[in-house]
Structure 1
């Protein structure tokens, strides 16, 4: 059975009729442009590769606006236009998940394109979000700016991979690109995909079969699909995604597929000065229950004039209870139409779970966590062995008992869903340390950091940490997590603003296995949180040695499984720093 790519589902537009170029909008009130006129064509980029581009122009009564308008562009690997299993056409530009349909109504031309090697575009991928793809984005931005329907001002928007194509295109500084809205993308791809030296689920899924791209809708001139079939045939030369990432264990590894230190090529942090010099406005967005949010927050920290938004919920889901389409429209109005208020907007808008007992949005001129102070909770007491219970150890503000707790790594874990965007409690898979019931509400905003003294009976082992919130009835949810291989524990200076977090370079020369029984320090930053933990709830730190979201568990398991020991109290104190906010 062919599996639909997850973000083709996440980013898919509402179904539309298959044939007409003029699309009548439904249930539109007080819209400046209720209709859309679409055209599609192949556009050659600098090396002659033809990319499939769709242009959606605002219209009234089926007639496109003739005056030049600013353009919003989105660049996707998930097919900008395709037929679903029922034969209905899905169109990225006609969805409001990224406000694109509302932007058309508001007087923007919206353009979408398939990246080379995907969808209806020709060519093949050398890598993923490499400089070739970035320059393709550059060329399409400038092509859009030159068209008669354009004012010459272009903005870009995207989330997940589409956020990455937006970010990477911005690093090439196209003269016509004025503003970008980047969702759930990464600043440092090595620190994201192989965080702590450990590859996990993001970017390691299998590649789609040709049938997926063959379901793309051909461009207008390709009436019989001949060009589409020829384009998809070229995709057979694509570099395989999982093999690319698995084949580069270190930050400075040379890829067998690209012939260079590919992590450095795809790290946007190497090109931030180009965005700054070009004066491109930046807005970073993600949601708290989504692993890329840490990268989005770090990205915002590297652009002092940027905006940041975090909502509740999962990957690329429009933040509920928030005027998301209005926020995006106002942002592009300001930077592409010079319209709207000139008053300085708040730097950050973000959801605080449990605020006033329910949850709500706050605004601030500081990024989440910048005003927080670390509150140390020390690991204490526990029993050694392989069978663990939820109350084996405790977290104390002081007076931790000296000792050590051990567990054997469990590799036989339940199969996760195809794309598990968030971790589930792992308290029965390792060691757990729990606070007493909190006596008052506690606001935590920012990055938790686990500072652990660890030893193992193997030269290397993976260490996963999870922070759970446990309610009075014992129901637990994971609110943050992190990972780090023992061999990747060495820290260095980050090549970008890292908000004071530990940075693990992961270069080959930095990787140091341990002697069996050797106690080493590990500082593991976790995904950021924003919540008020209510009185009566408890907080729990779980330490495990494998995660079900690792797609290659069967390949990396050690036999016999490592025994990992966590040392606490005395000179080997292990602690959890929580970001306490006022």
Structure 2
């Protein structure tokens, strides 16, 4: 497809690439033959015409919007077409350090190219306070952003080249803008495709009371937004400079999150209980009443997938997709762009392609293949306990201290001193490396038969500390026959946040830690606390001959503020093994037979 007056490049949120200014087709990658689930309508438009302009929203703030219209040559489609809206903080169009133009709509990572070819008008907006848009960003995915999306969606639906039906798509921050736009229930918004976003922002950003790498990086300097491409009418770039000057008033994101330790904290920046404002679960009824279709996507090697499953669980009739990859990477071996196109074809064009009646969940089971089920991962598993046993006292350098057994062992305890010297070479690590050299580890014998795990592992462990508070990190590792290990799930919990309660949404029976200030309390030194820690979801067959390992540490390399929060002397943590069924254990989600079937 050729975009008139634009340059083909790959761009999505945190990862961008660029290429030369030419009409270039997307090269196929070497991957398994994609799994398909039906047939979309035939592509009709070989080219695209782009324009850009400022659109004022209800408070008068002007937001930069790029419009891409399906075309033949330089002539846009004559008929009215449904719209796809995308809102980004990462700049819709900009020049990279080589001077080449990079634009989000020139990538198929979110199926934008596929949708343009299929006859959708795509609008990509810079959110207020970012890119070429005016205004200041009050908070991260706040109600202001939701209202802005409402206004731009309704503006798009009223153009003479669009129908009154609009869909929205995004992943990571863009997934959040998509989900929050749906909570505002614009009348023209009919379907959303939400990738790697959260249902409960406090439960995600400060999981277990501990902030990690998501959303805590420094804000970009003005030069980043100044590299944005001005809108068409801003021929001398003066409006871009004026817009970016307003961005100096943006609320700092890391400061915002670090400054609210409790779920009911009042932010010094926004003057309200900001976690409540940005909690999507509080607005789900608005999406349901509006009849907006929802599709949630995540990958198993990505922490937000835990929230994506819960989002689907709380939206009856929603769809769920999970691939094997990392953050926002289109799943290999699956017709990802075709799935998105079929989804919007049905809800925006009325195409009877059968997608609504297909299985609710489509997901990879690693070491097995693509599967489908009418239930979500986490809804069709039996909790099978493995018990922590046979450890020894020592320092944080004691590795492989204990064993992991299928039956309870005798009572005992294991202790270690928190090791803050954890690897931190990767600035934006989405996944932890094996941490067995930094705490206590409990390793199983080789499995005598394959074990299919689909869902959330949950660790139940009594812990005491030499200090009034400490952080506890738990990792589930798989070790193959050669000794190669990898983390397949992880979780975290501050001892002070140990209290559980009833969540205001469906948690799939996972433990929920309220994080309310009244529920957060120090743990007297030496006193035991029963911790319940849910780990990130998994979907894999652990082959016979492989081993499983549970590792417990007091620090994690993804803690950007580790240098500021580490205690001196370091806490000494003790894991208690009572013996019997209530002993320290991990409950593994073993898939029930017949709950899923191959996806043809």
Range class of TM-score, shorter chain: over 0.9
Match of 1:65 in 2: 77
CA distance in 2, matches of 1:40, 1:406: 61
Q: Match for 1:252 among 233, 248, 264?
A: 264
Match of 1:578 in 2: 588
Deviation at 1:24, TM superposition (A): 4.6
CA distance in 1, matches of 2:422, 2:499: 29
SS of the residue corresponding to residue 297 of structure 2 reads strand
Deviates more, 1:31-40 or 1:242-251: 31-40
CA distance in 1, matches of 2:144, 2:26: 41
Match of 1:361 in 2: 370
Q: Match for 2:255 among 243, 256, 268?
A: 243
- Whether the 8 Å contact between 1:462 and 1:546 is mirrored in structure 2 is yes
- Whether the 8 Å contact between 1:11 and 1:97 is mirrored in structure 2 is no
Deviation at 1:382, TM superposition (A): 0.9
SS of the residue corresponding to residue 192 of structure 2 reads strand
Q: Match for 1:541 among 535, 546, 550?
A: 550
- The CA deviation string for residues 473-512 of structure 1, in whole angstroms up to 9 with x for no partner, is 1110000000000010000101011101000000000002
- Whether the 8 Å contact between 1:380 and 1:569 is mirrored in structure 2 is no
Deviation at 1:418, TM superposition (A): 1.6
- Whether the 8 Å contact between 1:13 and 1:96 is mirrored in structure 2 is no
SS of the residue corresponding to residue 570 of structure 1 reads coil
- The CA deviation string for residues 326-350 of structure 1, in whole angstroms up to 9 with x for no partner, is 0000000000000132460110000
CA distance in 1, matches of 2:27, 2:564: 53
Map 1:325-474 → 2, pairs under 5 A: 325-342=337-354, 344-355=357-368, 360-474=369-483
Match of 1:20 in 2: none
What is the RMSD of the two structures over their aligned residues, measured on CA atoms?
A: 1.6
1:120 aligns with 2:129: no
- Whether the 8 Å contact between 1:7 and 1:78 is mirrored in structure 2 is no
Q: Which structure 2 segments of 5+ residues have no match?
A: 1-9, 29-41, 594-600
Residues 422 and 27 (structure 1), Cα distance of their counterparts in 2 relative to 1, 3 Å cut: closer
Deviation at 1:392, TM superposition (A): 1.1
CA distance in 1, matches of 2:372, 2:104: 30
Deviation at 1:293, TM superposition (A): 0.3
Match of 2:511 in 1: 502
CA distance in 1, matches of 2:523, 2:329: 42
SS of the residue corresponding to residue 234 of structure 1 reads helix
CA distance in 2, matches of 1:486, 1:328: 42
- Whether the 8 Å contact between 2:49 and 2:75 is mirrored in structure 1 is yes
Map 1:3-82 → 2, pairs under 5 A: 10=14, 12=16, 15=19, 17=21, 24=23, 26=25, 31-82=43-94
Map 1:476-555 → 2, pairs under 5 A: 476-555=485-564
1:315 aligns with 2:324: no
CA distance in 2, matches of 1:379, 1:521: 14
Residues 502 and 168 (structure 1), Cα distance of their counterparts in 2 relative to 1, 3 Å cut: same
CA distance in 2, matches of 1:565, 1:264: 35
- Whether the 8 Å contact between 1:14 and 1:94 is mirrored in structure 2 is no
Aligned residues: 568
Deviation at 1:472, TM superposition (A): 1.1
CA distance in 2, matches of 1:155, 1:25: 26
Map 1:562-577 → 2, pairs under 5 A: 562-570=571-579, 573-577=583-587
CA distance in 2, matches of 1:45, 1:27: 35
CA distance in 1, matches of 2:13, 2:270: 30
CA distance in 2, matches of 1:271, 1:27: 39
Q: TM-score, normalised by structure 1?
A: 0.95
Q: Which structure 1 segments of 5+ residues have no match?
A: 1-5, 18-22
- Whether the 8 Å contact between 1:450 and 1:524 is mirrored in structure 2 is yes
CA distance in 1, matches of 2:498, 2:540: 29
CA distance in 1, matches of 2:24, 2:424: 42
- Whether the 8 Å contact between 2:456 and 2:534 is mirrored in structure 1 is yes
Deviation at 1:26, TM superposition (A): 3.7
- The CA deviation string for residues 128-168 of structure 1, in whole angstroms up to 9 with x for no partner, is 10000110000000000000111010000000000000000
- Whether the 8 Å contact between 2:11 and 2:107 is mirrored in structure 1 is no
